[in-house]
Structure 1
Amino acid sequence: MTILDKFQPLQGAYDAVRAAGQDPFTVCFDAVLSPSEATLKGRRVILLGTNNYLGLTFDGECIESAVEALRQGGTGTTGSRIANGTYDDHAVLERRLAEFYGCRSAMLFSTGYQANLGILSTIAGRGDHILIDADSHASIYDGCRLGQAEVIRFRHNDPDDLARRLNRLKGAPGNRLIVVEGIYSMLGDTAPLAEIAAVKREWGAHLLVDEAHSLGVLGRNGRGLVEQAGVEADVDFIVGTFSKSLGAVGGFCVSDLPDFDVLRIACRPYMFTASLPPSVIASVTRALARIQEEPGLRARLTGNAERFYRGLRAEGFVLGPQAGPIVSIRMPSTEVAIAFWNALLEAGVYLNLALPPATPDNAPLLRSSVSAAHSEAQIGAALAAITAIGRELGVVAAPASRAEPLRPQGDGPRRASMAAAPIPVAPAAVAETTL
């Protein structure tokens, strides 16, 4: 017996998935050729399972900025932000993020996961209450667990349930912090943010919005759902990541609260982690400028997402509730989902496999991420491959007029990883799309 014996059920489930074909957790590309194409075992595949929403990982200006910073600043800072790890470029990026959001302050983190972990575990303490959407990302759950506040889940995208739970706290001491996401990464649905902001105002709570999947995607200026919903004045904290629309790695939090900067000496995940290397800071700074300079990137992303979503709906696939960069297809069973995913890989299309119990409504899903970099031909080829395999496996059985959107249900953390943990796991360890 060893300390790892408790993971034997998980190992068994993992082995069963691997026995059915390719291992979805250890896909290793020979080379990534562009934001939309790679080679895998010597064959070209369309990348339809990354979060490269604006295709900026291969942007020439971002690459050149990173290369120049690498030459001038070296490969890393070898220190935390409160020691030797703050360079002028870190401060510049924080100022530009704050200006982008119209806020006083911004803090950088080494990952988006760490941003949620650090902010949530720090701003809400003993005697406070955090109310989180039940479908929240694993980093939100873990940030809550690391802190000492009482954590209360409310039903996914249900402002009325949020209000009921706040009402039950009437008279109790402590602050209330509401946490939601701009775009939820399993089904691609957006939060009813205007209604949630109204509840926040009514009950005198604070509001944090995780815009990981909506930065650069939503809003006239790409500031996310907060901008699109017109509630920027109601949001106290915005958390985001650099690993999706900005095409790099890292995370941030912006806020207009006057005392926000005290978190630099209170937030342990910020204080005790090495800061981002100069090359990453440089590429992200340039990518942020590209979001502001080129609204056409968002327009191309929206066009590709709507074409892909409507094409699948027309064939009778059951999808998430709205068109967007994340398009998930409901599968009739886990076995069919695994077979479908393997067949798509053989057909030259890579997307993500998500299995229960770590999915909304315990539904097996094939999760796609559309990019502005996808060509019309690539979208068409992916639609053709998915449709052909769907017909072969009997997934497309109902006419398009009878296909109903997949509606998230439940009140627990049942979110799946894009390629990390879509097999049975303990609820506290549920992983999701990486930040």
Structure 2
Amino acid sequence: MESKLRPVTTLNGKNYLYFAGTSYYQLHAHSEIIASAVEATRQWGIGAATSRTINGTTPLLLKLEKKIADFFETEDAAYLPSGYLSNLAGIQALEQLQIFDRIFIDEKAHYSNLAGARGTGKKVIQFSHLDADNLEKKIKKHLKKGEKPLIVSDGLFPIMAEVPPVPAYLKIAEAYDGAIWIDDAHGAGILGEHGRGLYEYFNLSSDRLYSGGTLSKAFGAYGGFIIGDNRFIHTVKSGEVMTGTNSPPSAIAGAASRGIEMIKNNPEFLRRLKSNALYLKAKIKSIGIAAEENAIPIVAFSSGNAEKMEKIQQMLMNKGIYIQFVKYIGAGSEGILRIVVSSAHTKEEIDFLVNSLAFIL
């Protein structure tokens, strides 16, 4: 990538209409985000060069955590250097609070969730992808009397744009006195009426529900976060992950702070994203590609084997369009073609993509 991230992005010296990645509002190159990063760096320097628990907690970071908590309507929040670390720190804190005894994790959950689960030293059992019935079977088989389960899943599986059946998971958690950890990296900022993520999407509220995410996707910045009540967040902040990592750089904290403000104060971003997602999916279906009828801005499809899909990607690139051919968790052994639309794309750009794809297929 040889330019700022934008609807037309320069890759290896050539401009492409860019339908990839995870910048759902194309905020990563927004002038206000960049200005906030520069201003934060001028005021606070590159970083504190120490951990949060020594003297690396700055007013900048405290202000950001307050904004995160306010956005997601929780008591408190913790900000970490990456979304990967959020899953490690969150699951570790739940273990320290003795919330669970065994972990049951979706077999296609992100690597960081599995790393966090294994890092607790507790027994980890995988259940079939998105399958509440299989989850309960595994709990009945592996959970001993008096033990409590922790159910772990992504909030939005980014390759196939799948949403887990969390209401069903919650009923299971209630039945076995357990809890749920959701890695809402992709859902935060785009799911729900206000973009508060998976729990808002399902209108769920329970003290058994815990989650974290990242500001590196919808919010146009970088760094992970964990949200929850004061006791839980205090445990996160005093845990090994936050005490053992340097305080995040000022620039990304400043950018994140502005990104949250922009999404909160501009609901038209989310409305436009949903409109574009629905428009893309209607057009894609008209050329014979299956797509779920929802406002999630991702369409993934396979076409033959890996060689054929790479050829399709290259033919689109020859027309000046870039979509992803990926081999990732959930993509299968041959990989998958993945299209991501942002709120910044125009209907004409979407039409050009779909018409070009129709010609190739």
* Alignment TM-score, normalising by the size of structure 2: 0.92
Aligned to 2:264: 292
Aligned to 1:271: 243
CA distance in 2 between counterparts of 1:329 and 1:259 reads: 40
Which of 377, 383, 391 is residue 348 of structure 2 equivalent to? Answer: 377
Residue 54 (1) aligns with residue 39 (2): no
**Do the aligned partners of 2:310 and 2:325 also contact (CA within 8 Å) in 1?**
yes
CA distance in 2 between counterparts of 1:208 and 1:114 reads: 14
**Do the aligned partners of 1:133 and 1:153 also contact (CA within 8 Å) in 2?**
yes
Which of 210, 213, 220 is residue 183 of structure 2 equivalent to? Answer: 210
Counterpart mapping for 1:389-400 below 5 A: 389-390=360-361
Aligned to 2:335: 364
Q: Which moved more, 1:370-379 or 1:165-174?
A: 165-174
CA distance in 2 between counterparts of 1:90 and 1:323 reads: 33
Residue 88 (1) aligns with residue 59 (2): yes
- How far apart are 1:145 and its partner, in Å? 2.5
- How far apart are 1:234 and its partner, in Å? 4.8
Aligned to 2:135: 162
Seen in structure 2, the aligned counterparts of structure 1 residues 30 and 99 have a Cα distance that, compared at 3 Å, is closer
Aligned to 2:76: 105
1:58 aligned counterpart, secondary structure? coil
1:343 aligned counterpart, secondary structure? helix
Residue 309 (1) aligns with residue 281 (2): yes
- How far apart are 1:85 and its partner, in Å? 1.8
Aligned to 1:343: 315
CA distance in 1 between counterparts of 2:8 and 2:82 reads: 25
Counterpart mapping for 1:219-238 below 5 A: 219-238=192-211
1:246 aligned counterpart, secondary structure? coil
Seen in structure 2, the aligned counterparts of structure 1 residues 232 and 35 have a Cα distance that, compared at 3 Å, is farther
Which of 69, 72, 75 is residue 40 of structure 2 equivalent to? Answer: 69
Which of 155, 165, 175 is residue 148 of structure 2 equivalent to? Answer: 175
What amino acid sits opposite 1:104 in the alignment?
E
CA distance in 1 between counterparts of 2:349 and 2:241 reads: 41
Aligned to 1:354: 326
**Do the aligned partners of 2:278 and 2:293 also contact (CA within 8 Å) in 1?**
no
CA distance in 2 between counterparts of 1:65 and 1:197 reads: 39
- How far apart are 1:282 and its partner, in Å? 1.4
Which of 298, 302, 306 is residue 330 of structure 1 equivalent to? Answer: 302
Q: Which runs of 5+ in 1 are unaligned?
A: 1-28, 391-435
Count of aligned pairs between the two proteins: 359
Q: Which runs of 5+ in 2 are unaligned?
A: none
CA distance in 2 between counterparts of 1:61 and 1:335 reads: 42
The Cα offsets for residues 105-137 of structure 1, whole Å up to 9 and x where unpaired, read as 211110101111222245337982111112211
Aligned CA RMSD, in angstroms, stands at 2.2
CA distance in 1 between counterparts of 2:145 and 2:126 reads: 17
What amino acid sits opposite 1:94 in the alignment?
E
- How far apart are 1:322 and its partner, in Å? 5.1
CA distance in 1 between counterparts of 2:154 and 2:319 reads: 34
Q: Which moved more, 1:281-290 or 1:339-348?
A: 339-348
1:84 aligned counterpart, secondary structure? helix
CA distance in 2 between counterparts of 1:258 and 1:115 reads: 17
CA distance in 1 between counterparts of 2:80 and 2:19 reads: 27
Residue 200 (1) aligns with residue 179 (2): no
What amino acid sits opposite 1:145 in the alignment?
R
1:124 aligned counterpart, secondary structure? helix
CA distance in 2 between counterparts of 1:235 and 1:259 reads: 12
Aligned to 1:4: none
1:190 aligned counterpart, secondary structure? coil
Aligned to 1:114: 85
* Alignment TM-score, normalising by the size of structure 1: 0.77
- How far apart are 1:352 and its partner, in Å? 1.7
- How far apart are 1:389 and its partner, in Å? 2.0
Q: Give the share of equivalent positions with the same residue, in percent.
A: 28
**Do the aligned partners of 1:331 and 1:363 also contact (CA within 8 Å) in 2?**
no
Q: Which moved more, 1:225-234 or 1:312-321?
A: 312-321
CA distance in 2 between counterparts of 1:365 and 1:232 reads: 35
Aligned to 2:2: 30
What amino acid sits opposite 2:348 in the alignment?
A
The Cα offsets for residues 289-336 of structure 1, whole Å up to 9 and x where unpaired, read as 222111111111111111112211211124468552121111211111
The Cα offsets for residues 244-282 of structure 1, whole Å up to 9 and x where unpaired, read as 00111110111126354023222x222221221122111
